[in-house]
Amino acid sequence: MITMDLPLPDPIAVITHARPMAQRFKRAAWISLCFVALLAWIKLFEHWMGQPFSGLALRPHAIAGLIGVLTAPLLHGSLEHLASNALPLLILGTLAGGLYPRATVRALPLIWIGSGIGAWFLGEPGSAHVGASGVATGLLFFVFFLAVLRRDRQAIAAGMMAFFLYGSMMVAIFPREANISWEMHMSGAIFGVLAAIIWRKRDAALPRKRYSWEDEPEEEGFEHGESAHADAAPRELPRGAAEDAWIDSDPDSGLDFDDAPNAARGTRREVSAPPRRLH
């Protein structure tokens, strides 16, 4: 009989795995918070100076506007614009950096520059693009598609959380409203998916708890990894089948060797007797 034993968690193992994970999330949260604070400080500095940094905006199809590939995510049109991007950057940055620190370090520059270059090519001439919404959209697609590609429990949980909180951002990659840079959203999403594909194996999955029933053999009596389909040892035939079993070893019985399994199972078959010769 196979029993399912659910062991109690080992406190030492739990602490061993939980402590590095907590440190990674804490570090990712602090970095995300510092980045959001930097964006707020830049916006407040604009108000204090009394002049916006519009010269650092991304301007499509203009050579001078290429500077915005680097600087546009740092600028925002208003405090409301900054507030709408601050929370997604904080939460998605913490999720990505906490679960995939190595992949996120490589993905962020790609999403940052890729969203700007894509908007420079796709945007209308004469327009100006600012804001970190392209980076936030790239992080959303990065976390979500890592869950699709990796399919471990932590990745799936993070992907579901990101989709539940900010799934509406996925439709923002299409042109819907005026004065919304769907070009940066679209480009950030493309490079977020690309980063997930390239660096999906950069961070190892967390160890999974194994239960004792996963190591049980398929059938009782098969030990030490023996398969249930291995050659079985000779078994004693049931009473009443012995008359049919002896016929396998009789060369004059008229039974082919292909019929031996049927005879061993105790199945009676009609066997035509060899012709008798009269002397």
DSSP 142-207: HHHHHHHHH--HHHHHHHHHHHHHHGGGGGGGS--STT--HHHHHHHHHHHHHHHHHTTTSSPPPP
User: Is 118 among the domain residues?
Assistant: yes
Q: Is the pLDDT of residue 167 over 50?
A: yes
Measured CA to CA, the distance from residue 99 to residue 27 in angstroms comes to 11
Q: pLDDT, tens digit, for every residue of 101-159?
A: 999 999 999 999 999 999 999 999 989 999 999 999 999 999 999 999 998 888 999 99
Are 126 and 246 contained in the same domain?
A: no
Task: Tell me what the pLDDT averaged over the chain comes to.
Answer: 78
Q: Is the pLDDT of residue 258 over 70?
A: no
Nearest to 163 by CA among 133, 143, 188: 143
Q: Is the pLDDT of residue 255 over 50?
A: no
User: Is 178 among the domain residues?
Assistant: yes
- With cut-offs at 50, 70 and 90, classify the pLDDT of residue 208: low
Are 189 and 262 contained in the same domain?
A: no
Are 248 and 192 contained in the same domain?
A: no
Percentage above 70 pLDDT, the chain:
67
Are 83 and 136 contained in the same domain?
A: yes
Are 166 and 256 contained in the same domain?
A: no
Contact 263, 269 (CB under 8 A): yes
Are 79 and 166 contained in the same domain?
A: yes
For residue 152, the model assigns a pLDDT of 87
Of the two residues 40 and 215, the one the predictor is more confident about is: 40
Are 158 and 23 contained in the same domain?
A: yes
Percentage above 90 pLDDT, the chain:
52
CATH number for the domain that contains residue 26: 1.20.1540.10
Domain count, the chain: 2
Are 154 and 253 contained in the same domain?
A: no
Are 125 and 263 contained in the same domain?
A: no
Are 78 and 186 contained in the same domain?
A: yes
For residue 212, the model assigns a pLDDT of 53
Are 164 and 267 contained in the same domain?
A: no
Which residues, other chains included, contact 236 with Cβ-Cβ below 8 Å and sequence gap of 6+? none
Q: What angle do CA 31, 33, 34 make, to 5 degrees?
A: 65
Last residue of a domain, one of 198, 221, 247: 198
| Structural domain for 41, as ranges | 19-198
Last residue of a domain, one of 166, 198, 230: 198
Are 72 and 159 contained in the same domain?
A: yes
Q: pLDDT, tens digit, for every residue of 7-53?
A: 545 455 445 556 778 899 999 999 999 999 999 999 999 988 888 88
Q: Which residue type occupies 277?
A: R
For residue 205, the model assigns a pLDDT of 73
User: Is 123 among the domain residues?
Assistant: yes
Q: Is the pLDDT of residue 251 over 50?
A: no
Contact 172, 180 (CB under 8 A): yes
User: Is 4 among the domain residues?
Assistant: no
User: Is 75 among the domain residues?
Assistant: yes
Q: Is the pLDDT of residue 219 over 60?
A: no
User: Is 104 among the domain residues?
Assistant: yes
For the ranges 2-11, 68-77, 118-127, 207-216, the lowest mean pLDDT is seen at: 2-11
- With cut-offs at 50, 70 and 90, classify the pLDDT of residue 214: low
User: Is 8 among the domain residues?
Assistant: no
Tokens, residue 152: 């471990």
Q: Is the pLDDT of residue 265 over 50?
A: no
Among the residues of the chain, which ranges form H helices?
11-49, 68-71, 79-99, 101-122, 133-150, 153-166, 182-198, 242-245, 260-264
Q: Is the pLDDT of residue 264 over 50?
A: no
Last residue of a domain, one of 170, 198, 226: 198
User: Is 45 among the domain residues?
Assistant: yes
DSSP 229-243: TSPPPP-PPPTT-HH
